[in-house]
Amino acid sequence: MKIIPIKAACGITGFESPAATYTEQGLTLDELLIEHPSATFIGRACGDSMRNVGIMDNDILIVDRAYRYAHLDVVVANYNGNFVCKIIDIKNKRLISGNESEADIMIHEHDEFAIEGVVTRSIRLHKPSHLLLE
């Protein structure tokens, strides 16, 4: 993939034509978005419980297992057999939703719980992909 190093303004004023000073950079989306290829997996968000952190229903999640998760990181975890995307509150042993209408989930000793990885990126598709049809 060729990257054109021009920022696109999202305002009404527009932006310079890419042809004006066209320069190509050899960079793939993999190189741009994935830091640890052998430790990274991609999943899809389901639901709106993380909308206040910018993750919407059907967004693509890039999850990196090489990162050591930290307090208040967005993670994908296995919680009692379900994969969930939440904010990890290490100090209070709970999972926090990015939506005020969702209750926090306390992590108890009897729960099956494992962090699968840290969400490093999320991608919103503005047009559905035939590759992601269920």
Q: For residue 50, which amino acid is it? A: M
Domain annotation covers residue 66: yes
Domain annotation covers residue 74: yes
121 is in which domain, residue-wise? 36-132
For β-strands 25-26 and 60-64, DSSP reports them as: unpaired
| Domain count across the chain | 1
Q: What is the pLDDT at residue 24?
A: 62
CATH number at residue 86: 2.10.109.10
Domain annotation covers residue 96: yes
Q: What is the pLDDT at residue 29?
A: 84
Q: What is the pLDDT at residue 113?
A: 97
Q: What is the pLDDT at residue 127?
A: 83
Domain annotation covers residue 77: yes
Q: What is the pLDDT at residue 2?
A: 45
Domain annotation covers residue 19: no
Kindly name the residue from 2, 7, 38, 86 that is annotated as catalytic: 86
Domain annotation covers residue 9: no
Kindly name the residue from 2, 7, 17, 49 that is annotated as catalytic: 49
Q: What is the pLDDT at residue 22?
A: 56
The two three-digit tokens of residue 8, written as one number: 């696109």
In sequence order, the 6+-apart residues with CB closer than 8 A to the CB of 110 are none
Q: For residue 21, list its beta bridge partners.
A: none
7 in active site: no
Domain annotation covers residue 54: yes
Q: What is the pLDDT at residue 3?
A: 47
Domain annotation covers residue 109: yes
86 in active site: yes
The residue count for the chain: 134
Q: What is the pLDDT at residue 132?
A: 65
Residues of the chain with confidence (pLDDT) below 50: 1-4
Identify the residue whose tokens are 């320069």: 23
Q: What is the pLDDT at residue 23?
A: 59
